[in-house]
Amino acid sequence: MAIPMNADGQVAVAFWVGICVTAMSLALLAVVLVLRQLAQRRERNHLRATAFWKQLLGEAMRAPPAQAPALPWRDMTGFMDAWNELHDAPGGADNAGMRAVAERIGLAPKLERMLDRGSFHDRVMAIIAIGHLRSASSFDRLTELVGDASPIISISAARAMMRIDAARAVQKVVPQIEARHDWVDGGIAQMLHEAGPDAIRAELGAAVLRANDDVAPRLVRFLAGISREAATPVIGRILAEPHDEHLVSTCLQVMSELADLDKVRPLLTHPRWHVRMHAAAAIGRLGGADDAAALEPLLADPQWWVRYRTAQALEHLFRGDAARLERLRDAQEDRYARDIVTQVMAERALGETR
């Protein structure tokens, strides 16, 4: 049998492959070293600019300046860092001195230019900076960005809009909260918290009632997070109607209205364990000693979490009466019921020593 290929040919191919990959490796190494140098230079310039503008803006916060130096384009990233950081610091929001500096250096058009020309990171920083500037002229530009494919760009734009004009922004932002599952819940909560309940409650409450059962649990949580009062009528309506058990569970977790307890008690026998668990916890939170009898059978529930939350609920209803809880435990025939009450009693005893 012959050798499948001319041996010299193989060697030549191997040799040239070696030459090519070695050249590529060396070229890549050179690129790595050059990139590092460029990055370090950029970093030095950025730190210098950040330090300079942080000091200047810090002074302006205390006493509005009569004049301000020009803001060169190369300082923009450092300026935005300083600007955003100081606004997030205590006393930084709505500071007259910083607004005066922004006006003197013509900040709004510069930030809009950054939206067009900057890298991803710089664009996001510019959006945040526009929000802090509360530049009404940029509102329409931000409206376009709320629909951006990137969740970071879009949620940052939404947050900036809420800062500029919450009443106007809420009509654009709430539908996005419903539609966009790629927005991080914590980020939405932060944005709503900043806007405050008055700006949000009506629009968000209406959104909860019109949303389908997949989306509604998130919205209920946001609504209860910004205003328990605003959430109460919505939760009442949901509990009064048949709904998806996840939505019911969410309502049980955030409910705070005593009057709704009548709608909760029947849920103690719900076929889904997480509904029973949250119902027991809600009764423990809001109920009275009379509810103990309804909770007691759940101490022997097949699900550990139902037993645990029920035992905690009972402990809460007994207002820390350890003797009563002990009597309840000793009266249980089910071993698991006794064990779980023992655990909750031990937790309470530990908690008292903490």
Partner 1 sequence: MSIPPEVATFLLWLQWGFLAYFICINVVYLGLNFISMFAILRYVREHGAGFRIKNFADYQPPVSIVVPAHNEERTIIATVRSLLRLGYPTFEVVVVNDGSTDRTLQAVVDEFGLVEFPEAYRSRLPTQPVERIFASPNNGRVRVVDKRNGGKADALNAGINTARYPLFCVVDADCILQQDSLARVVQPFLEDSSMIAAGGVIRIVNGCKVKDGLLSEVDLPDRALPLVQTMEYLRAFLFGRLGWSPLNALLIISGAFGVFYKERVIAAGGYKSDLVGEDMEMVVRLHDRMRAEKRRYRIAFVPDPICWTEVPSDLRSLYSQRVRWQQGLAESLFGNWRLMFRRNGGAVGWVAYPFMLLFECIGPVIEVLGYAAVIVLGLCGMVSAEAFVAFLFASVGLGVLLSVNALMLEEISFHLYPRPGQQLKLFLVAVLENFGYRQMMSLFRVIGLLRWMGRLRSRAKWGHMRRSADWHDEPGQAIAPQGPAGSPAAS
Enumerate binding residues for partner 1 (CB under 8 A).
1, 3-4, 7, 10-12, 14-15, 17-22, 24-25, 28-29, 31-33, 35-36, 39-40, 81, 84, 120-121, 124-125, 128, 150-152, 155-156, 181-182, 184-187, 189-190, 193, 225, 304, 307-308, 336, 339-340, 342-343, 346-347, 350-351, 353-354
Type of residue numbered 334:
D
Question: In the complex, what is the shortest distance from the CB of residue 288 to partner 1, in angstroms, rounded to a whole number?
Answer: 26
**Integer Cα distance of 174 and 185 in angstroms:** 13
Q: Would you say 3 or 66 has its CB closer to partner 1?
A: 3
Type of residue numbered 288:
G
Question: In the complex, what is the shortest distance from the CB of residue 17 to partner 1, in angstroms, rounded to a whole number?
Answer: 4
**Helix 216-226 vs helix 185-195: angle between axes, to the nearest 10 degrees?**
40
Assign 152 to helix, strand or coil: helix
**Integer Cα distance of 351 and 214 in angstroms:** 38
Question: In the complex, what is the shortest distance from the CB of residue 94 to partner 1, in angstroms, rounded to a whole number?
Answer: 20
Residues 6+ apart with CB under 8 A from 328: 292, 296, 314, 318, 341
**Environment class of 211 (CB within 10 Å of its CB; exposed 0-12, middle 13-18, buried 19+):** middle
Q: Would you say 1 or 70 has its CB closer to partner 1?
A: 1
DSSP string, 290-305: GGHHHHGGGGG-SSHH
Question: In the complex, what is the shortest distance from the CB of residue 354 to partner 1, in angstroms, rounded to a whole number?
Answer: 6
Question: In the complex, what is the shortest distance from the CB of residue 35 to partner 1, in angstroms, rounded to a whole number?
Answer: 6
**Integer Cα distance of 35 and 103 in angstroms:** 36
Question: In the complex, what is the shortest distance from the CB of residue 5 to partner 1, in angstroms, rounded to a whole number?
Answer: 8
Q: Would you say 68 or 280 has its CB closer to partner 1?
A: 280
Q: Would you say 186 or 271 has its CB closer to partner 1?
A: 186
* Long-range contacts from 72-77, C-beta under 8 angstroms, 24+ separation: 73/110, 74/45, 74/49, 75/49, 76/110, 76/114, 76/118, 76/122, 77/46, 77/49, 77/122, 77/125
**Integer Cα distance of 352 and 354 in angstroms:** 6
Q: Would you say 68 or 298 has its CB closer to partner 1?
A: 298
Q: Would you say 125 or 238 has its CB closer to partner 1?
A: 125
Q: Would you say 7 or 293 has its CB closer to partner 1?
A: 7
Question: In the complex, what is the shortest distance from the CB of residue 12 to partner 1, in angstroms, rounded to a whole number?
Answer: 8
